[in-house]
């Protein structure tokens, strides 16, 4: 079967698309990559006015709907819980390390000097940094992985926070100063996982990519994304959710937080359950019941 993959042109997006391409070719398919520039790629400033992280998907999804490509490969943490009509997530690959990573040249988060300048544009990461180290100076930092690491080396920042999975996929894991505990520094829903998006009615393609699906990862990210959907979250909300198999097996443990803004107003909740969607809804209800807006 010939499959055209639509992807962004960044180094990380290329790695992910090449990874999927290689796995499909190993199963006998003919695969072509088509690189698509998205609104997010063309936007140097804040993403909120152009659709948040969905700005990195818009043109790729339009190409899918138009029949110009057959399959889209995404970092799942960038994929909204509501997809355009006619499109569906058909497979989730086995998750890489979901943790956030601090790159500082050596010092862990607890040892950064007071007033150290830390770069990240993520509201989630800013809220967590403000909670655990309120004495740090937080500054916006956008760009690809190389750009962020270079700006730290150039002295614009004392440290930066990035997804560990992306660093590992690009062979930059050796630069990590500390992998942050996901129970305290809660990742974004879906972080570390790759999602495959197709046209809803394309049964042949669904069958072709089905062997790439990883059920354990799918269960975890379903809990996380159900919580995200229940809270109406996106990149405009400081929110984290992380699920993994509970001790003893057979159930998932989900930890989550939501903050009023990136300087505090924290509410946390957790829960366990065997049904991922029910677990996500249950923990979301606990967060809502805690009335984040009322937290001082």
Whether the CB-CB separation of 231 and 95 falls below 8 Å is answered with: no
What contacts 286, CB < 8 A, 6 or more positions away? 269, 271
How is the chain split into domains, by residue range? 2-93+194-213, 100-179, 224-294
pLDDT single digits (tens) 125-180: 999 999 999 999 999 998 889 999 999 999 999 999 999 999 999 999 999 999 99
pLDDT single digits (tens) 57-114: 989 999 999 999 999 999 999 999 999 999 999 999 999 999 999 999 999 999 999 9
Query: Does this model's pTM top 0.85?
Result: yes
Q: What does the alpha-carbon distance between residue 140 and residue 229 come to, in Å, rounded to a whole number? A: 26
Which CATH entry fits the domain spanning 2-93+194-213: 3.40.50.1220, 3.40.190.10, 3.10.330.20, 1.10.760.10? 3.40.190.10
Task: Say which of 41, 70, 78, 135 is annotated catalytic.
Answer: 78
pLDDT single digits (tens) 185-212: 999 999 999 999 999 999 999 999 999 9
Same fold, 2-93+194-213 and 100-179: yes
DSSP code of residue 139: E
β-sheet bridge partners, residue 102: 161, 178
pLDDT at 44: 58
Q: Nearest-CA neighbor of 234 among 188, 195, 270?
A: 188
Residue 268 CB burial class (10 angstroms; 0-12, 13-18, ≥19):
middle
Residue 75 CB burial class (10 angstroms; 0-12, 13-18, ≥19):
buried
Q: Copy the structure tokens of residue 81.
A: 């819980």
Whether the CB-CB separation of 177 and 204 falls below 8 Å is answered with: no
β-sheet bridge partners, residue 162: 101
Task: For the domain covering 224-294, report its CATH number.
Answer: 3.30.160.40
Which CATH superfamily hosts domain 100-179? Answer: Periplasmic binding protein-like II (3.40.190.10)
Per the annotation, the verdict on 78 as an active-site residue is yes
What contacts 45, CB < 8 A, 6 or more positions away? none
Other CB atoms closer than 10 Å to residue 97's CB: what's the count?
18
């Amino acid at each position: 079967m010939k499959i055209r993959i639509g992807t962004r042109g960044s180094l990380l997006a290329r790695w992910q698309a090449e990874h999927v391409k290689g796995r499909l070719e190993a199963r006998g398919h003919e695969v072509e990559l088509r690189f698509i520039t998205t609104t997010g790629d063309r936007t140097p400033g804040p993403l909120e006015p152009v659709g948040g992280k969905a700005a990195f998907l818009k043109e790729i999804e339009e190409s899918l709907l138009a029949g110009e490509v057959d399959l889209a490969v995404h970092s799942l943490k960038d994929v909204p819980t509501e997809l355009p009509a006619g499109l569906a997530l058909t497979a989730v690959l086995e998750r890489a390390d979901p943790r956030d990573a601090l790159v500082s040249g050596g010092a862990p988060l607890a040892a950064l000097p007071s007033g150290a300048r830390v770069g990240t544009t993520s509201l989630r990461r800013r809220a967590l940094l403000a909670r655990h180290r309120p004495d740090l100076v937080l500054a916006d930092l956008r760009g690809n992985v190389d750009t962020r690491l270079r700006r730290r080396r150039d002295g614009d920042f004392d440290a930066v926070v990035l997804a560990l999975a992306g660093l590992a996929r690009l062979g930059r894991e050796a630069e990590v100063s500390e992998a942050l505990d996901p129970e305290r520094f809660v990742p974004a829903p879906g972080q570390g996982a790759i999602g495959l998006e197709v046209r809803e009615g394309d049964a042949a393609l669904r069958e072709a990519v089905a062997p790439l699906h990883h059920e354990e990862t799918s269960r975890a990210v379903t809990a996380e994304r159900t919580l995200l959907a229940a809270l109406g979250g996106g990149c405009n909300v400081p929110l984290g959710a992380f699920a993994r198999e509970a001790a003893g097996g057979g159930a998932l443990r989900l930890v989550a937080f939501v903050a009023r803004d990136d300087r505090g107003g924290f509410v946390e909740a957790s829960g366990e359950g065997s049904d991922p969607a029910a677990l996500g809804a249950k923990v979301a209800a606990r967060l809502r019941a805690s009335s984040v807006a009322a937290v001082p």
